[in-house]
Amino acid sequence: MKFRFAAPVALAVTLTLAAAGCSGGSTTAAGDDKSFEFWSFTGINQKASVQDYRKEHPDVRVKLTEVGSSTETAQALTTALAGGKVPDLVLIQGDDLPKFVQQPQNFYDLREFGADKVKGDYLDWVMSQSTTEDGQIIGVPTDVGGMAVAYRKDLFKAAGLPTDRKEVSELWPTWDAFIETGKKYTKATGKPFVDNAPTSVFYQAVNQVSEKYYDNDDRSPIYAKNPQVKEAFDTALKTIEAGITAKQSSFSNGWSAGMARGKYAVVAAPSWMLNSIRTTAPGTKGKWDIATIPGGSGNWGGSYLAIPRNAKNPKAAWNYIKATQSPKGQLDHFLDSGALPTTPSVYEDARLTSMKDEFFSEAPTGQIYTKSLLGLEPFYIGPDSAIIGQEFLNALTDVEQGKGDPAKAWDTAVKNIKTAIGQ
């Protein structure tokens, strides 16, 4: 259940009826533990997770609504909370979660269902993000986004570059080295190296910092003066200036078509991205491999399942959370989709450590992604982190598309952020 960033799409709601007998009718009576309404965002094939659940619980009916992007889903939830008509279960992207944690009255404290008894199953720093200062648990984490780089072996070979994942990883110990590798590729082939700079470079580099948009201690916004954020932004600008990007925004139609046709050779691949690559470009099976992210470690993403306070069927929703987000449930989902568990007890499980992904040239994905989390120092995610990140992304995208001045891009982003969040 694993998607962290999605390019904005129209907010037309697409209904996916995961249960064969489920109709589009109204939610069932209060307290029904055999049916529930579930809101997710698009791009992560949540339908598959629901179908897996129903194989084990065929008597449960689920109405799954894929609302739109992660941002649009959070916006729809905000509107629903104000209006009183809410789903029974909702998936919230990690950067959108803090503003909901600040309004715990709008959600069930999951300790009412026993979340306090299982919270130790999850990474402390992940669980803490959905826990209020007085201990209320608003959401249960579904995954983390350990980072790596997916690359096309065949295209690397054609460019005269190494194809072995260890040798490829050694090409780019730093982001500057990554850019230099891209220049060599583009010079040799005349083709773009990486899909885009805003998400494949900035979003990766900015999620490797020790402190991001907010001060870790006093939680004040520091996005405009944090040198780590500025460095990540400048690295993306250097990537654009190098002329090595395909200028295809992640998850756009052009991005999907380009991936399938080999129009670029590299894409940033946090663990949840693997399933997107599989479904976007199924004909490229065996042509991809996975290398270490420049810098060696980091986390991009993660989501949480929460139950709104006015949910009509909270028990059914909790039953789904308990089953699918247990250590076993998360491990099973990793084996199916590549989404990295938030339950460290399975990190040494032989099924995870020995997992080799056929689509990605038998890459040992369990080892690669758990290693990317080692030594990670989590940073505080604030109530407006999603908005801040989006404005930085917008400014970089404008530059990449030739609509923005790179010399003014940082100041433009900061100005837009201040307008958007008021500080």
Q: Tell me the pLDDT tens digit for each residue of 263-274.
A: 999 999 998 888
Q: Does residue 12 surpass a pLDDT of 50?
A: no
Report the pLDDT value the prediction gives residue 302, as an integer from 0 to 100: 87
Find out whether 91 and 304 touch, Cβ atoms under 8 Å: yes
Which alpha helices (DSSP H) does 95-216 contain, by range? Answer: 97-101, 115-118, 124-127, 153-158, 165-171, 175-189, 203-205
Q: What are residue 26's phi and psi, to 5 degrees?
A: -70, 160
Closest-CA residue to 388 (of 225, 145, 255) = 225
Centre a 10 Å sphere on the Cβ of residue 141 and count the other Cβ atoms it contains.
Answer: 26
Look at residue 398 in the predicted model and tell me its pLDDT: 98
Higher per-residue pLDDT: 31 or 67: 67
Domains for the chain: give ranges and CATH numbers. Answer: 14-145+301-346 (3.40.190.10), 148-300+357-421 (3.40.190.10)
Contact criterion met (CB below 8 Å) for 343 and 331? yes
* Widest Cα–Cα separation across the chain: 64
According to DSSP, residue 204 is labeled H
Quick one: pLDDT band at residue 20, thresholds 50, 70, 90? Answer: very low
Closest CA to 339 of 325, 350, 323: 325
Lookup result for tokens 């691949």 = 269
Residue-level pLDDT at 5: 37
94: its two tokens: 């990690």
The radius of gyration of the chain from alpha carbons, rounded to an integer in Å, stands at: 21
* Tally of CB atoms within 10 A around 331: 20
**Could you give the CA distance from residue 375 to residue 378 in angstroms, rounded to a whole number?**
9
pLDDT at 19 over 80: no
Taking the C-alpha atoms of residue 228 and residue 269, their distance in angstroms, rounded to an integer, is: 21
Rounded to 5 degrees, φ, ψ at 305 are -100, 130
Strands 89-93 and 35-40: parallel
Considering the chain, what is the average pLDDT of its residues? 90
What does pTM read for this prediction? 0.84
Q: Does residue 9 have a pLDDT over 80?
A: no
Place of tokens 């994905």: 365
- Which residue shows structure tokens 């260890």? 166
**Phi, psi values for residue 3, rounded to 5°:** -140, 140
Using the structure block, give the residue that is written with the tokens 């980072």: 147
* pLDDT at residue 30, as a whole number: 52
**Each residue's pLDDT tens digit, 37-88:** 999 998 777 888 899 999 999 999 999 999 998 889 999 999 999 997 999 9
* Cβ 212 vs Cβ 229: under 8 Å: yes
Q: Answer yes or no: are the C-beta atoms of 67 and 13 closer than 8 Å.
A: yes
Which of 241-245, 352-356, 408-412 bottoms out in mean pLDDT, i.e. has the lowest?
352-356
The HSE-up count of residue 153 (CA atoms within 13 Å, CB side) is: 18
